[in-house]
Amino acid sequence: MYDAKGTKVYEGEMVNGEFHGNGTFTFKNGDVYRGEFSHHKFHGKGKYTAQKEVYEGAFLDGFMHGKGVLLGDGFKLEGLFYKGKIHGHGSWECTTTAVSGDEGYVVPSYKGEFKDGKRSGFGVYCFSDGSVYEGDFENNVAHGQGTMIYQNGQKYFGGFYNGLKQGQGTYIWWDGRRYEGEYQNGNKEGEGKYFFLNGDTWIGQFKNGQRHGKGTLVSGKDSSITNEEYEKGRKM
| Residue 64 confidence (pLDDT) | 98
Q: How far is CA 73 from the centre of its chain?
A: 18
Mean pLDDT of the residues in the chain = 93
Beta bridge partners of 201: 195, 218
Of 39 and 96, the structure prediction assigns the larger pLDDT to 39
| Residue 5 confidence (pLDDT) | 58
Q: What are 120-171's pLDDT values in tens digits?
A: 999 999 998 889 999 999 999 999 999 999 999 999 999 999 999 999 999 9
Instruction: Give the Å distances, CA to CA, from 16 to 21, 41, 86, 185.
Output: 12, 14, 33, 62
The continuous run of DSSP H or E covering 179 comes out as strand 178-184
CB 98 within 8 A of CB 107: yes
| Residue 96 confidence (pLDDT) | 82
* Position 219 pLDDT exceeds 70: yes
| Residue 107 confidence (pLDDT) | 86
Of 45 and 107, the structure prediction assigns the larger pLDDT to 45
Beta bridge partners of 116: none
* Position 101 pLDDT exceeds 70: no
| Residue 62 confidence (pLDDT) | 96
> In degrees rounded to 5, what are phi and psi of residue 190?
110, -155
Q: What are 60-72's pLDDT values in tens digits?
A: 999 999 999 999 9
Statement: the pTM of the whole predicted model exceeds 0.85: yes
* Collapsed DSSP state (helix, strand, coil) of residue 101: strand
Q: Which of 156, 159, 132 is nearest to 143 (CA)?
A: 159
Buried (b) or exposed (e) across 47-56, using 16+ Cβ within 10 A? Answer: bbeeeeeebb
Count of positions (residues) in the chain = 236
